[in-house]
Amino acid sequence: MDTMQSQPSASLSTLLDQLRERLGAGAVLTGDDVTARSIDWLTGTPCHAGAIVRPGTPDELAETLRLCHAARQPVVTHGGLTGLVHGAEASPEELAISLERLDAIEAVDPVGATITVQAGAPLQKVQEAAEAAGLQFTLDLGARGSCTIGGNIATNAGGNRVIRYGMMRQQVLGLEAVLADGRVISSMSPMLKNNAGYDLKQLFIGSEGTLGIVTRAVLRLQPAMPDTRTALVACPSFDAMTGLLAHMRQTLGGELSAFEAMWRNHYRLLTDVSGRHAPPVGTESPFYVIIESQAIDADRHGARFDQALESAFEAGLLADAAIAQSDAQRDGLWAIREDIEGLVHLLSPLMTFDVSLPIGDMEGYVERVETTLQEQWPEGRLSVFGHLGDGNLHLMASVGSNDADTRHRVESCVYEPLAELGGSISAEHGIGLEKRNWLPISRSPDELALMATLKQALDPHGLLNRHKVVTYDTQDEH
């Protein structure tokens, strides 16, 4: 075990004693209780923080930051630890602040269609609370059982229903956050319309815990959609797939809730090659799509969905289709798209990428990345899938090594073509440590300077998730 971790410095020991006195002994974890926790679900990397602090209320979190600020103690926020950009990585000189105990559903307002929750509440718990009230919370991710609302807000999470309901930003009506010095910024308005000055909550959505730690939020709910129709279809070309997207948008309108694309390399790997899933349609097509529609009226909705697919087939936009006839079949279709565990097993050592770019440029972009990778690593493999309707692709690359030099070369293959396309190096996963040095591809010098100005204004000593997202000179040396 790291001796710095098992034997904290005198100043850190004093701070931990203060935190135990204020929060209770069980709120502070050290030693084996820290290293037993993994901060990376892909690799199982243990936590190396000097300690883990677990405040039980928003007030206790504010008190924790006040004490850390006075001691100039850097901290790293921990939510559900499902991120992919090393945003939860902490050194022995840093404290991890876990929000796992801030998991309450505080209130549900079925008339105003809002739910008020604490930041540590898992996404699935919020979905279930909304469902119990006859409504739905529309954000949905594969990690729904583990990821937390605070993490969803901090990364402006996307997921499977962005095409219909938007990103996490669109679901947040109000929030409360604690600044680096312990001040509480409470902007918990449940109003959809609120133009009373600056919309301060937007500062914290997508900031990855670098400007403040979210403690509570008022979230927007939507009417429940009890009837769901799901199909997995094969498309004969990229143009057919994009034509199918336009067709389904036109014929289903606002009922279209997911349009998830899979390149053949992804679909075939998880079906024929690995045998992990039975292919619902043949594996010879170049592109596959999961189409999902949600509505209230089952009979009319079902007829519209079937007719939309039939007319798409007649127009040559799809070559084959499998329509789910039960929840079990629906889950089976989605399992092919969401089997990240399978990809980790089949492609390890795996490098994951999350990019966005204009839909019309996707085919050429993927071909360029694949060609460049194969030129350097002939035995390398690439799996491509994503939220096509949102302009978001996920690329999973395996070239036989994951050392720092190899990773940088692979990142160059993936990120550099985005510059001329006006694309983004991060569509929904965030920046963290992993993508920070590539941020100039997607942000101008003036934008980066403004980010640094905001960081300096709200966290002048660089205590919150330091080195993540943006770098700048602080008032202190750590």
Q: What is the pLDDT of residues 242-284, one digit of tens each?
A: 999 999 999 999 999 999 999 999 999 999 999 999 999 999 9
Nearest to 187 by CA among 171, 203, 208, 168: 203
* DSSP E strand stretches across 236-286: 256-263
Q: How do residues 199-210 score in pLDDT, each as one tens digit?
A: 999 999 999 999
Task: Tell me the pLDDT tens digit for each residue of 373-423.
Answer: 999 999 999 999 999 989 999 999 999 999 999 999 999 999 999 999 999
What is the Cα–Cα distance from 9 to 93, expressed in whole angstroms?
9
Residue with tokens 């629906």: 330
CA distance 49 to 91: 5
* Domains of the chain, CATH where assigned: 3-98 (3.30.43.10), 105-223 (3.30.465.10), 227-338 (3.30.70.2190), 359-381+398-441 (no CATH)
Q: Is the peptide bond before 349 cis (omega within 30 degrees of 0)?
A: yes
3-class secondary structure, 251: helix
Per-residue model confidence (pLDDT) at position 44: 75
Mean pLDDT of the chain: 93
Closest CA to 395 of 417, 375, 376, 378: 417
pLDDT value of position 477? 46
Q: Residue 254: helix, strand or coil by DSSP?
A: helix
Q: Phi first, then psi: what are they for 129, rounded to 5°? A: -65, -40
Tokens of 181: 């010095």
pLDDT digits (tens, 9 = 90+) for 102-159: 999 999 999 999 999 999 999 999 999 999 999 999 999 888 999 999 999 999 999 8
Helix (H) or strand (E) holding 227: strand 227-235
Pairing between β-strand 95-98 and β-strand 75-78 as defined by DSSP bridges:
parallel
Q: What does the block give as tokens for 7?
A: 């034997």
Q: What are the pLDDT digits (tens) for 213-230?
A: 999 999 999 999 999 999
Q: Nearest-CA neighbor of 103 among 124, 81, 87?
A: 124
Please report how the helices 298-314 and 238-252 are oriented relative to each other, as an axis angle in degrees rounded to 10. 150
Q: What is the pTM of this model?
A: 0.91
* DSSP letter string, 7-64: S--HHHHHHHHHHHHHH-GGGEE-THHHHTSBS-TTT-PBP--SEEE--SSHHHHHHH
Distance separating alpha carbons of residues 450 and 211, to the nearest angstrom: 13
Q: What one-character DSSP code corresponds to residue 464?
A: B
Amino acid present at 220 = R
Identify which of 131, 193, 182 has the alpha carbon closest to the alpha carbon of residue 22: 182
Strand-pairing partners, residue 126, are none
Q: Residue 412, SS3?
A: helix
45-76 as b/e: b if 16+ CB within 10 A: ebbbbbbbbbbbebebbbbbbbbbbeebbbbb
SS3 state at 394:
strand
Residue 344: other Cβ atoms inside 10 A = 17
User: How far, in Å, CA of 351 to CA of 242, rounded?
Assistant: 27
Distance CA 72, CA 74 (A): 6
Half-sphere CA count of 401, side-chain side, radius 13 A: 11
Q: Return the closest-CA partner of residue 77 out of 39, 114, 107, 113.
A: 39
Which residue in this structure is represented by tokens 């097993």?
Answer: 345
Q: What is the pLDDT of residue 364?
A: 97
Neighbouring C-beta atoms of residue 300, cutoff 10 Å: 11
52-61, 80-89, 430-439, 462-471: the lowest-pLDDT one? 80-89
What φ, ψ does residue 392 adopt, rounded to 5°?
-120, 125
- Angle, alpha carbons 142-145-151 (nearest 5°): 80
Residue 10 has pLDDT above 70, yes or no: no
Instruction: Summarize pLDDT for 66-108 with one digit per residue, the tens.
Output: 999 999 999 999 998 888 888 889 999 999 999 999 999 999 9
Q: Are 428 and 85 in contact (CB under 8 A)?
A: no
Give the integer Cα–Cα distance in Å for 319 and 309: 11
3 state SS of 106: strand
